[in-house]
Structure 1
């Protein structure tokens, strides 16, 4: 088990993701507990990129319920189709939001959040969980984040049984 992440200091965002993803895969491979894996992934992403908030919501009884996260306190339950996370769940696709205040129906769990990316994770072709990452900067996420976070979710999906 890894206890530290090793990331290049003078690297592009893509190079940091390239270095991080194999470490996340090694960290969660062989660990069957979803909560433990989500906790370590949250910590790894926050540590690597310094995001304002990183965490997961898990589908339970037809509502998204807050799971492991890193950052300030958060909304506990989110309904399908509500806010960015509920929209990602309903549509089954990544939501890249440069300005959360411009997103119709945005749920403001924190007024400090300015931009957001939300990536669904699947089990048996159904959305099982949501990765939610917030930034306190406008337009902080781009297609590079989307590409690598979707790859990371595919790695996570392989561990879900």
Structure 2
């Protein structure tokens, strides 16, 4: 087993229509407004499709992750990005309607990644379970934050807490 290799899978069930959730997820620059662990998000190339996020969870380290769109398919509800920088691999959101009426959706998150940051690689063996727990907390808070953000948008409140580039 490679202690630097991680596979994550999780589900968010949200009281929001799938198209609204997809739109929020494709706007990576807005992630700092609703996802507490995403501290910064910015485009790095000309036009959309490439960017960078700075992430800091409960543990005292930050990750700088470059993102490059690999699949952008609104009809299928799929957003997939290649990751580079402190983490190398890919992540994918798949958004589908969940239940009658189109007012709820299910978001499947999948990620296959390897730590590239030297500190994480050195600590991978003893702290692997802690890194996984840190990721689980981040994903839980992301789902909660997105739900609140979308509820604020639907209610006309704007939803956000902070600017996208702090």
- TM above 0.5: no
- Larger Cα-atom Rg: 2
Between 1 and 2, higher relative CO (CA 8 Å, sep ≥ 6) is seen in 2
TM-score (norm. length: structure 1): 0.32
